[in-house]
Amino acid sequence: MQFHGQMYIIGDSKYEKNEKEQQVESYQTVYRGGMGEIIEKKSRFIAEVYPIESEEQAAQILEETRKKYWDARHHCWAYVLGRNPAAERMSDDGEPAGTAGKPILEVIRGRKLTDVLVIVTRYFGGTLLGTGGLVRAYSAATKEGLANSTIITKYWGTKLLVNTDYNDIGKLQYLFGQREIPIMDAQYTEKVSFVVLIPVSRVEEIKKAVTEAVSGRADMEEVEQLFYALIDGEYICF
């Protein structure tokens, strides 16, 4: 897939995932995309928000949007992809330079989001809005689309396996609850095994607290590192 129309590139010309991205302790992104629409002097501005993982995915979504709104005047867009550093792209798609893609991108930046694509489709209503009016309209449509999306914070964390005696169950449950460490799984066999999710920056702190709480009777193992988020009251691993 190829991007059509004039496109502005900020940062590296080609986005590639790199190991530095996993060094970010947390970042905000879109979990579920949404849609928003505003009308300005009879022009319709339809904003659609998508979580993305690659430039190719963004290009495919844009192509599908062009087909869906085939009779629209403009399909302006911007996306931010990755971290350390992020790749940023935007397009005015025939609107005056700097009046569409940049306002969309500025709203995304303002929310500190990444791995997100916003497309704003415009149906021309017959009245010219001027550069200021266009900037306000594309910004407002983008904000409306994001307001109807699910925004989450992803944390880089560690799954920690904790094995201990039955006498220590209450102490550990209290400890994890007090320190807001979610218990993802619990197994009750000859011993009790908890799997908990811990931000990477707090692993040593929690290990020390567990050791002190049960007087060294717990065995601990770091199982894996991954991103996780709290979504609708439930912890989800990625």
Does residue 220 share a domain with residue 125? Answer: no
176 touches 235 (CB < 8 A)? no
User: 137 with 228, same domain?
Assistant: no
Same-domain pairing of 222 and 188? yes
**Can you give the CATH number for the domain in which 174 is found?**
3.30.70.240
Distance between CA atoms of 112 and 165, rounded to whole angstroms?
A: 44
In the prediction, which pLDDT does 5 show? 46
Clarify whether residues 144 and 168 are in a common domain. no
42 and 137 share one domain: yes
Same structural domain, 141 and 161 = no
What is the mean pLDDT of the segment spanning 110-125?
97
**Residues 141, 55: one domain?**
yes
First to last CA, the chain: 27
Question: Of 14-18, 94-98, 196-200, 220-224, which gets the smallest average pLDDT?
Answer: 14-18
Domain-embedded: residue 103? yes
Read off the pLDDT of residues 151-179 as tens digits, 9 standing for 90 and up: 999 999 999 999 999 999 999 999 999 99
In a domain, 3, yes or no: no
Q: Which domain holds residue 221?
A: 154-237
- Can you read off the two tokens belonging to residue 14? 């080609």
For 189-213, what is the mean pLDDT? 96
Last residue of a domain, one of 103, 132, 148: 148
Domain boundary among 99, 120, 148: 148
CATH of the domain at 129: 3.30.230.30
Q: Are residues 92 and 201 in the same domain?
A: no
Based on the fold, state whether residues 110 and 183 are members of the same structural domain. Answer: no
Specify whether 141 is located in the same domain as 222.
Answer: no
Q: Which of 103, 17, 100 is nearest to 52 (CA)?
A: 17
Distance CA 46, CA 103 (A): 14
Q: What is the DSSP string of 47-80?
A: EEEEE-SSHHHHHHHHHHHHHHTTT-SEEEEEEE
Number of domains in the chain: 2
223 and 132 inside one domain: no
- Supply the pLDDT for residue 85: 80
Mean pLDDT of the chain: 91
Write down the pLDDT at residue 136.
97
- Which domain-ending residue is among 113, 148, 183? 148
Question: What is the arithmetic mean of pLDDT over 180-204?
Answer: 95
